[in-house]
Amino acid sequence: AQSVTQLDSQVPVFEEAPVELRCNYSSSVSVYLFWYVQYPNQGLQLLLKYLSGSTLVKGINGFEAEFNKSQTSFHLRKPSVHISDTAEYFCAVTTFSGTYKYIFGTGTRLKVLA
Amino acid sequence: EAQVTQNPRYLITVTGKKLTVTCSQNMNHEYMSWYRQDPGLGLRQIYYSMNVEVTDKGDVPEGYKVSRKEKRNFPLILESPSPNQTSLYFCASGGLQGKRHIQYFGAGTRLSVL
């Protein structure tokens, strides 16, 4: 079975500062990894994905994530955040099996302060 | 425009009164799924469907039913809603980009069971 852990439930950060949102996963098989963003009162939007290949993945809005197989991590980073990045961020995994059952983390609320 | 459409967006009901939340996608995706989002718990998968007439349980299927009689629609049915089903519900559809599976989310349905 797979699991996803987002240790930080809330991350406050000042505008223009860098940020890292942590995600660790557990799986006995190969996985696909995703980060989704949810702005207030909206649905989820795909931010970026790791499927295979390069371990550094670039997404929308200047975000990037690095897949680290040995540490089973997929941390999300942005070098300089904006007020508009205030949102909840979810890490998710699914396996390469044909069922595409998704497991989500509990979310990290990023609050960017002026 | 590619869309996953859920209706209604907001619903207040009473315990025991059957309800259906509809979900429709226009991307010809084979995969569709329902999630519920609760504070501190992230998103949990209720049911998913790999194709027409093929459905399977996610992590929290109790109290819910689904059907997939046609590719574009995947309604979520609560036969006898209870207050613990008060939640924010998301429908998603997914398809293959090459060999990679990507998921798209609807805007959500906020359900309150009194």
Under an 8 Å CB criterion, which residues of A touch B?
Answer: 6, 9, 32, 34, 36, 42-46, 49, 51-52, 90, 92, 94, 98-107
Three-class SS of residue A85? helix
pLDDT on residue A30: 82
pLDDT on residue B98: 61
The alpha-carbon gap from A56 to the nearest alpha carbon of chain B, in Å, equals 17
pLDDT band at A96 (very low <50, low <70, confident <90, very high): low
Chain B CA closest to residue A34: B102
Q: C-alpha angle with apex B64: B59 to B69, nearest 5 degrees?
A: 105
pLDDT on residue B99: 59
Two tokens, residue A8: 């930080």
**How much is the mean pLDDT over chain B?**
92
pLDDT on residue B97: 66
pLDDT on residue B100: 65
CB B4 within 8 A of CB B25: yes
Higher pLDDT, B111 or B59: B111
Q: Is it the case that residue A28 has pLDDT exceeding 90?
A: no
Residue A43: which of B33, B48, B108 has the nearest Cβ? B108
Two tokens, residue B17: 């009164």
pLDDT on residue A63: 96
Q: List, for residues B55-74, the tens digit of each pLDDT value.
A: 999 989 999 999 999 999 99
